[in-house]
Structure 1
Amino acid sequence: MSGWNPGGQPPFDPQAGHRPQPGPYPPSPPNGPYPPPHGGHPPQIPHPYGPPPNGPRPYPPHPGPPPASGPFQRLRQRIGPIHTARRVFKPSRPGIVDDALVARVQKIRTFVGLGAVAWVSMSYKLANSLDGIVDDRTHQSWISVLMLCVTYPFAVGLLLALADPSARRELLRRAAKPFGAMVSIVAAMALFPALVLSGFAEGKFATNPGMTVVTFAVALLILGWVLPFIFWGVGLGLVYVFRTADIHETVPPLLAITLVWETTLVDLFTGAYAGVPGPLYALFLLGAPASVTAVGLWELHRLRAHRGIAVRDMLMRQPGPPS
């Protein structure tokens, strides 16, 4: 017996005239274990991962993001500033239509606009440094938030006046969450002047070790929670127009168009781009409202053409009887 012949069968020698003894398993038939069908071709064995004969394979639904694995992650998702801002400022009405293409175009327009403003500010010495540009954009964003807070009640009042009387209670209920988002961002911003005016920021109340610990804890809370909530909330509030899609999908583009022209009037009367040459001044003064108006009208067109949602639908008027 050799290593290459573990069965111990001697090799076939035609001069000796002996053949190896058959093994314990019978030989395979020449055409394989399956009889050939008519035509002599071997049978086609279906692939185990191919589509079933009666239709496409039913894949299981996507499981989605895995849940938080630890207590710290669960606590962060529940009370963290960024997650809280998302819950407060993103629309969440059941059945709401969300167009990913429109959101992508809005983000591109926003980044292009910020880059153009930064270039003009540095080229024509409207800002001395990058910090000045950031401060200017932050100030303008906050002005936009305040103007939207002022415009929103008038817009809701006009909507209620034009809507069907039977739908006014439902519209008021939908308008509550956008109003709550505005109140939350204004209250968070009002915390800072309140701390300064009360003397708390200067350590006025840190008169003993206990109050010193309280002052330090409040400062940590403001730096670690309130500031991220404000910055994230202002960004989400402007992108989602303070979740006014909870009222109706056509309200955000209409409010965005109104807000950007109001901001343009403020820039015009306050001399926002003083020192910029005439043609470039007109371009940067009218570029933002023109682009926002174009995107808003395009969004309204997509809602009407692809979703069947028109501006008149937010009035919730019942169709009249056929004539």
Structure 2
Amino acid sequence: MVSRRQQSGFSSDAPGCLVFLGTARAQAAAIFATPSPGRVTDPVIGRVQKTRAAVGAVTTFLMIWTYGVDGGWSEVFEDGVTKVFLAPLLLILVGPLVIGGFILYAPAEHRPLLRSRLRYPLKAVGWYLGIPVGAVAAAVGILFLARFLSDVSYVLGLLLYLAILVTGVPFAVWLVAFLAFASGAAARYAFNTADVHASLPAVLTAVLVWVLNLVSLGDGLPNGPLAVQLAAVLGGPLSVTAVSYWELHVLRTRYGVRIRG
């Protein structure tokens, strides 16, 4: 039996702050990356995906190192953080269209079953949006209560403000860490859409990378010659699409997973 601490990725000898953040990671994994009967886990697919990501990161680093980037490395960091949180939101917006088209493309006799499984990604989306919204609503309510108590009794209001400071700051740090881990897991596993059909994450990933690319074009083309600019703009989406297509091929030939079977 694997403990929650082991799931967090930090041992009992790790500093308390790392264990604390590890609970956020474990909670995100429990919601968005829990293995299920509908999810096909192939180690070869995982290695290819990681290799593509590593090659893409190294290529991007070398291109920036050679030709520079407007805003410097801080701009690169901010862009990376933005994409981590933007990807799940784009999935929430674009995903229903892709999933709807996917179900319509599937054989008619399979559509009722696929629709019945939509509760799994909907539950994941609900957690992703509900936790931060609920936290903000609770914070606003507690602050209003503290203000009200301050009008009634200065001591009671002060004690509540101190309690908010002692408990609220660590929780805010935990919440940010949870959202970061949850955003990565939600984008990688496409909000547990493998529970609807094992092919859906690959299809959604291919669509998402092009949508993200279009959004990124709003910042302009990267520095460098035209050939480098085109490679930078198209290289990532094309490579991700190729890996997704190959993943669908592996799922079909090795595991018998077909969209129109």
CA spacing shift, 1:67–1:253, aligned 2, 3 Å: closer
Is residue 2:74 matched to residue 1:131? Answer: yes
Superimposed CA distance per residue, residues 185-228 of structure 1 (whole angstroms, 9 cap, x where no aligned partner) = 3345557887999996xx978952222133211221111x2122
Moved more, 298-307 or 111-120: 111-120
Between Structure 1 and Structure 2, the one with more helix by share is: 2
Name the Cα RMSD after superposition: 3.5
Distance 2:5 2:223 in 1: 53
The Cα of 1:236 is off from its aligned counterpart by 1.2
From 181, 196, 214, the counterpart of 1:247: 196
* Superposition pairs of residues 1-323 of structure 1, within 5 angstroms: 80-94=23-37, 96-164=39-107, 167-188=110-131, 207=150, 208-216=157-165, 217-223=167-173, 225-268=174-217, 270-313=218-261
Mapped to 2, the partners of 1:148 and 1:90 lie a distance apart of: 16
Q: CA deviation at 1:81?
A: 1.6
Contact 2:103/2:114 (<8 A) preserved: yes
Amino acid in structure 1 at the alignment position of 2:208 = L
Shift of 1:87: 1.4
Report SS of the residue matched to 2:68. coil
Aligned letter for 2:44? Answer: L
Quick one: which amino acid aligns to residue 244 of structure 2? Answer: G
For 1:105 and 1:205, how far apart are their aligned partners in 2?
A: 57
Residues 256 and 68 of structure 1: is their aligned pair in 2 closer, same or farther, counting only changes over 3 Å? closer
Query: Are the structure 2 counterparts of residues 267 and 128 from structure 1 closer, same or farther at C-alpha, using a change threshold of 3 Å?
Result: closer
Highest relative contact order (Cα 8 Å, sep 6+), 1 or 2?
2
2:118 alignment partner, SS class: helix
What is the letter of the counterpart of residue 59 of structure 2?
Answer: A
Is the contact made by 1:126 and 1:273 (CA closer than 8 Å) also made in structure 2? no
TM-superposed deviation, 1:231: 1.2
Task: Indicate conservation of the 8 Å contact 1:81/1:228, yes or no.
Answer: yes
- Moved beyond 6 Å, runs of 4+: 66-69, 191-199, 203-206
Larger CA deviation: 168-177 vs 83-92 = 168-177
Count of aligned residue pairs for this structure pair: 241
Looking at structure 2, the residues matched to 250 and 280 of structure 1 have their Cα atoms a distance apart, in angstroms, of: 33
1:146-199 CA-to-partner distances (Å, cap 9, x unmatched) read 211111111232234344555444323322222222333334555788799999
Q: Give, as a single letter, the amino acid of the residue that structure 1 aligns with 2:160.
A: M
| 2: CA distance, partners of 1:80 / 1:294 | 35
Structure 1 window deviating more from structure 2 (131-140 vs 293-302): it is 131-140
Matches of 1:275 and 1:66, distance apart in 2? 48
Partner residue of 1:49? Answer: none
On the 8 A contact 2:87/2:208 being kept in 1, the answer is yes
Task: Decide whether aligned partners of structure 1 residues 222 and 271 sit closer, same or farther in structure 2, where only a CA change above 3 A counts.
Answer: closer
After superposition, the Cα gap between the structure-2 partners of 1:68 and 1:140, relative to the gap in structure 1 and judged at 3 Å, is: closer
The CA distance in 1 between the partners of 2:210 and 2:172, in whole Å, is 34
Identity of aligned residues (%): 25
5+ residue gaps, structure 2, are: 7-11, 13-18, 151-156
TM-score relative to the length of structure 1: 0.63
Quick one: distance in 1 between partners of 2:70 and 2:31? 33
Alpha carbons 1:156, 1:175 under 8 Å: kept: no
Any gaps of 5 or more consecutive residues in structure 1? 1-63, 314-323
Larger radius of gyration: 1
**Is the CA contact (8 Å cut-off) linking 1:205 and 1:215 kept in structure 2?**
no
Report the residue type matching 2:190 in the other structure.
V
Alpha-carbon spacing, 1:65–1:193, altered in 2? closer, same or farther (3 Å): closer
Q: TM-score, normalised by structure 2?
A: 0.77
8 Å Cα contact 1:254/1:296 also seen in 2: yes
